[in-house]
Every structure is written in C-alpha cells, then in structure tokens.
C-alpha cells in the first residue's frame, strides 16, 4: 500500500515535469524558428540590395521606371540563396527628390515548432535604396565649315543632312533631350555674331562700332538682282545675288586684330575671353577683305531642337577657310565665361564632373589664309607673313586653341571631310585618335558624312550611359 502510493506520486511528478517541459521546449523551438527567420532576413536583405543596384543601373541606362519590377524579379531568380518564396513587395520607385531608387521584398519562412501553436510561417521584409548618379548634362558645339568649296564640290547638302540627323538623334532620345544643349557654329574665314550682338563691338580708328552697311544694307545692295535673307534670329540680314551671299554681322578674328594693331598676340587673342572683357571689330573695319566671306550667324547653346534643325537648313556656303577662327568660336559657345551672352542666359554651365562639353569640328579643307595674292583678299593675320607661310602661323594658332580647350575639359571630335582636308592636323586637335574621323560625300561609303555624325552622336549618348552606371 505504501509502495503503491509512492509509485503514484513518482508517476505524477514525471507527468507534471513533462507537462512543465512542453512550454519550455516550445519556447526553445520558437527561438529556433525566429533564428531561422533572422537568417533568412539577412539573406533576403542581400538579394534586395543587389536588386536595388541592378534596378538603378537599368534606370540609368534608360529603362522606364514602370519596367524595373521585372529587373528586380530577375535579381531574385538569379540568386542562389536558400530563400523560400521571395517576392517584390514594393516596386522600384524614386525617393529623396529622385536621387535614390528604392524597393522592398518579402518572404515567408516556414516554421517547425511554432506550427504546433498554429503559426505556420514568419513573414520577413527588407528594403534597400541605391543612390542614383547626379544627372549628367551635355553641351555640344557643332562647328561646321561652310566655305565656298563645300558648295562647289557638292559637299554642302550632305553636311546639312548630317547635322540635322545629329540634332534629331538627341531630340528623339527621351533621356538625353532633357539634358543636352547644342550650338551650331558656321565658319569660313570669319564667324558671324549676328545683329543681335552688336553690343559686343567696338569702333576702330574713329569709325563707328556698327558699320553703316549692317544698318542700311539696301543702300549697298540696291540692285534688283539682290534678294534679302533673314536669319532665324529675326534680325540678322543677308543679301544674295544668285552667286554670292553677303551676311551682316561678321567679326575679325581677335588674333588678326592683335597682330594688326600691336604686332603681337595679346591675352585674349586665342582665348575664350567674354565679349565684355575683349570686344570685337566688325569685319568691315578690314577694308582689304571681301564682304562675301561672311557666313550665317552662330547659334548659341539651345535645347530647342526644332529651331536648331531650322538653322541647319538655313545655312549657306561662301568664303575661304580659317580653321582657327572656327575652333575658337566653338569655344565661345561652351565657355562659362560667356554665360549670359547668348540667348540662353543659363548656358554655358560651369565645368564639373556632371557637365560634359563637346566640340564636333568639321572641315573639308586645309588652312586657307588670305595674304593678299589678289585684290579684296587679305586677312590681317598675314600682316607680317604675306605669303603661304601665313597658313603655318594660323595652324600654330589652331594647335594652341585646341590644347587650351582640351585643358579646360572640352572633348574635341574632328571630322576630315573628303580628300581636300588635312586629317593629320585635325587628328592632332582631337582628344584622341578615337575622336578623329574621316568622312565622305559618297552615300555608299561606310564613311558617308551622315553615318559619321550619327556614329559620333551614338558615342556621346553611349558615353552618357556609361557615366551613369
């Protein structure tokens, strides 16, 4: 009787101990389940981080925000971690004013011990953000030779087509057209600042800063053979007699003026000095130069691609070739010193890691200074070199201009157009051999000028994608 009672009490104690052990075991099991969930969360966080980076790269490469969920799903599929059923719980989206791309993921970890209490899974969530690169801006100056050889050798129209195609390639790019501005700089032996910028001029030897010919062109071109042209700025006038164009607004190269007046170059001669720091002389001050050497006006940086296309279509061909005058004018359109001078007063931007400045320089000829071999053909640059040696001087000036531009961070592409150009001199000016191109007017050539301009445009746009990654 006594032993039976003792046995009963012992059995009861075992049962009580076992019953007491159940919640303890369950608590240990819950801890194990939560530890597994924590481990899964760490792995899910790594996948989420990778997905955010992939989505940010894709967005920078032009993938639409609405399509980035597929990119995140691909990151999940590509991962080999021991996740269970991960999903994108919050689609990729922009935060912090568009400077970050964020997304969230979720997974459910099956339980073992908690399932005994009816809890069959633990939900885990993670979030990640990837910083987007600062938006890149592109300022591009298309410097185009419009000397008479262009029209005489059937090179002009293909060039115009190429320029329009270049502009269209940026206009049609939804990401690039919001951050790209383009200038067009026509040049022959002069460049034209237009009648909208006569405040940039100064008088010379007692003469007026603005020539009477510019103010009253009909007095000088009174014959009925002349028709009147109006540039896209609505103010600059040109006269055309069926053979020659006479645009108003051309200025003498600063280097020419310095040599004529001082016998040596001054600090502004080959620089990007703003017109407020170094004013220009109208080409009319050089009575020894033909006025038909004047091309249409420069078009400053603009994101109005329709206007730029119209400007390209309105170009005319006339005059001789001064590569140095064209190149330095391209610099004028990109230099921050000129901000406030052009119609777009916010441009050019300061040089920075996110602002990229590019010149695309095209010519179909070699340096062709006018040293007085015939009447009405004299460049002041040749005052002390009245022979073909003046071309050597002008080429040395071109080299100095190119070197100075590249030192400020401007990338220079050169296009040597057809057989009369000087590819060696242009290659020296280009940023690298990969930036120096040859072009042809032959539509069947792999170097057809439109194809070359499209290749340069693609290189710039692809570079923008690389910079964004």
The rounded percent of the chain whose pLDDT value lies above 70 is 88
| CB neighbour burial string for 23-43, b if at least 16 within 10 angstroms, e if fewer | eeeeeebbeebeebbeebbeb
Confidence of residue 120 (pLDDT cuts 50, 70, 90): low
Statement to judge: residues 279 and 309 lie in one domain? yes
Distance CA 216, CA 204 (A): 19
Count CA within 13 A, CB hemisphere, residue 241: 11
pLDDT at 151: 97
Q: In 3-state terms, what secondary structure has residue 461?
A: helix
The domain boundary residue, chosen from 76, 106, 131:
131
pLDDT digits (tens, 9 = 90+) for 211-268: 999 999 999 999 999 999 999 999 999 999 999 999 999 999 999 999 999 999 999 9
The rounded percent of the chain whose pLDDT value lies above 90 is 71
Residue with tokens 């009369």: 420
In this structure, what token pair is assigned to residue 81? Answer: 């971690």
- Burial of residue 11 (CB within 10 Å: 0-12, 13-18, 19+) is exposed
Task: Report the interhelical angle of 449-468 vs 156-171 (nearest 10°).
Answer: 20
Statement to judge: residues 284 and 363 lie in one domain? yes
pLDDT digits (tens, 9 = 90+) for 391-409: 999 999 999 999 999 999 9
* Alpha helix segments (H runs only) across 273-356: 305-313, 323-334
pLDDT at 112: 67
Statement to judge: residues 151 and 240 lie in one domain? yes
pLDDT at 468: 40
Q: What is the CA radius of gyration of the chain?
A: 35
pLDDT digits (tens, 9 = 90+) for 47-88: 899 999 989 888 877 788 889 999 888 888 877 566 778 889
Residue 226 sits in a domain whose CATH number is: 3.40.50.410
Statement to judge: residues 101 and 152 lie in one domain? no
In this structure, what token pair is assigned to residue 466? Answer: 């690389």
The domain boundary residue, chosen from 115, 131, 147:
131
The answer to the question of residue 7 being in a domain is no
The answer to the question of residue 77 being in a domain is yes
The answer to the question of residue 1 being in a domain is no
The domain boundary residue, chosen from 91, 106, 131:
131
Statement to judge: residues 164 and 275 lie in one domain? yes
Pick the closest to residue 106 from 90, 120, 82 (CA basis). 90
Domain hosting residue 81, numbered range: 12-131
Give the single-character DSSP code of 422.
-
Statement to judge: residues 379 and 457 lie in one domain? yes
The answer to the question of residue 6 being in a domain is no
Q: Is the pLDDT of residue 141 over 50?
A: yes
Q: What is the mean pLDDT of residues 348-373?
A: 95
The answer to the question of residue 3 being in a domain is no
Statement to judge: residues 408 and 366 lie in one domain? yes
- Burial of residue 451 (CB within 10 Å: 0-12, 13-18, 19+) is middle
Statement to judge: residues 433 and 360 lie in one domain? yes
pLDDT at 131: 84
pLDDT at 258: 98
The answer to the question of residue 437 being in a domain is yes
Statement to judge: residues 284 and 255 lie in one domain? yes
pLDDT digits (tens, 9 = 90+) for 411-439: 999 999 999 999 999 999 999 999 999 99
Phi, psi of 369 (to 5 degrees): -70, 155
Distance CA 73, CA 27 (A): 36
Confidence of residue 2 (pLDDT cuts 50, 70, 90): low
Statement to judge: residues 330 and 438 lie in one domain? yes
Q: Which residues pair with 431 in a beta bridge?
A: none
Q: Quickly count helices (H) and strands (E) in the chain.
A: 12, 14
The answer to the question of residue 278 being in a domain is yes
Task: Say if CB 73 and CB 153 are below 8 A apart.
Answer: no
Statement to judge: residues 201 and 291 lie in one domain? yes
Pick the closest to residue 398 from 288, 282, 269, 285 (CA basis). 269
Strand runs labelled E in 132-244: 137-145, 180-187, 191-192, 227-230, 237-240
Phi, psi of 431 (to 5 degrees): -60, -40
The answer to the question of residue 19 being in a domain is yes
Count of structural domains, the chain:
2
Q: Which residues pair with 229 in a beta bridge?
A: 238
Statement to judge: residues 126 and 151 lie in one domain? no
Q: What is the mean pLDDT of residues 256-284?
A: 98
């Amino acid at each position: 009787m006594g032993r039976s009672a003792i046995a009963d009490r012992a059995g009861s104690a075992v049962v009580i101990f076992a019953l007491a052990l159940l919640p303890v075991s369950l608590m240990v099991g819950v801890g194990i389940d939560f530890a597994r969930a924590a481990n899964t969360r760490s792995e899910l966080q790594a996948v989420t981080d990778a997905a955010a980076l992939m989505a940010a790269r894709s967005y920078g490469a032009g993938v639409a925000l609405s399509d980035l969920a597929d990119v995140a799903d691909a990151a999940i599929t590509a991962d080999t971690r021991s996740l269970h059923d991960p999903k994108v719980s919050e689609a990729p989206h922009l935060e912090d004013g568009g400077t970050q791309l964020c997304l969230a993921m979720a997974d459910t970890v099956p339980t073992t011990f908690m399932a005994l209490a009816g809890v069959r899974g633990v939900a885990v969530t993670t979030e990640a953000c990837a910083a987007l690169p600062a938006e890149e801006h592109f300022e591009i100056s298309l410097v185009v030779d419009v000397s008479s050889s262009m029209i005489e050798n059937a090179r002009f129209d293909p060039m115009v087509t190429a320029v329009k195609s270049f502009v269209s390639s940026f206009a049609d790019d939804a990401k690039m057209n919001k951050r790209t501005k383009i200038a067009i700089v026509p040049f022959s032996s002069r460049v034209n600042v237009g009648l909208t910028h006569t405040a940039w001029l100064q008088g010379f030897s007692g003469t007026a800063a603005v020539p009477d010919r510019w103010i009253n062109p009909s007095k000088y071109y009174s014959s009925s053979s002349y028709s009147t042209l109006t540039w896209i700025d609505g103010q600059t006038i040109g006269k055309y007699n069926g053979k020659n164009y006479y645009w108003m607004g051309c200025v003498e190269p600063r280097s020419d003026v310095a040599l004529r007046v001082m016998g040596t170059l001054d600090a502004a001669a080959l620089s990007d000095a703003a017109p407020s720091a170094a004013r220009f002389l109208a080409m009319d001050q050089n009575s020894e130069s033909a006025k038909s050497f004047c091309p249409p006006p420069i078009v400053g940086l603009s994101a109005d691609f329709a206007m730029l296309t119209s400007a390209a279509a309105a170009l005319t061909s006339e005059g001789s070739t001064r590569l140095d005058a064209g190149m330095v004018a391209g610099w004028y359109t990109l230099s921050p010193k000129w901000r406030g001078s052009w119609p777009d007063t916010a441009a050019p931007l300061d040089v920075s890691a996110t602002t990229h400045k590019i010149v695309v320089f095209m010519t179909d000829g070699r340096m062709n200074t006018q040293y007085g071999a015939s009447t009405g053909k004299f460049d002041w640059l040749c005052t002390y070199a009245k022979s073909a040696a003046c071309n050597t001087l002008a080429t040395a000036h071109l080299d100095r201009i190119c070197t100075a531009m590249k030192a400020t961070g401007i990338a220079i592409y050169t296009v040597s157009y057809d057989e009369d150009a000087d590819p060696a001199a242009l290659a020296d000016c280009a940023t690298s051999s990969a930036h120096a191109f040859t072009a042809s007017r032959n539509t069947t050539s792999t170097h057809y000028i439109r194809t070359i301009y499209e290749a340069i445009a693609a290189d710039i746009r692809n570079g923008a994608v690389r910079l964004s990654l």
